[in-house]
Amino acid sequence: MSTPQGELIDLFLCHNGADKDWVRTLAEHIESETFDGLPHGRPLRVFFDEWDIDVGQNVLLKINHGLSMSRYVAVIISPEFLEAA
- Which string of DSSP letters, residue by residue, matches 27-76? HHHHHTSBTTS-TTSPBP-EE-HHHH--TTS-HHHHHHHHHHHEEEEEE-
Distance CA 69, CA 22 (A): 23
**For 56-71, what is each residue's pLDDT tens digit?**
999 999 999 999 999 9
Residue 1 reports pLDDT greater than 90: no
**For 3-50, what is each residue's pLDDT tens digit?**
555 689 999 999 999 999 999 999 999 999 999 989 999 999 999 999
**Count of structural domains, the chain:** 1
**Is residue 10 domain-resident?**
no
What are residue 73's DSSP bridge partners?
12
Q: Mean per-residue pLDDT for 68-84?
A: 94
Range of the structural domain that residue 41 is part of: 16-77
Looking at residue 2, what is its pLDDT?
Answer: 56
**Is residue 8 domain-resident?**
no
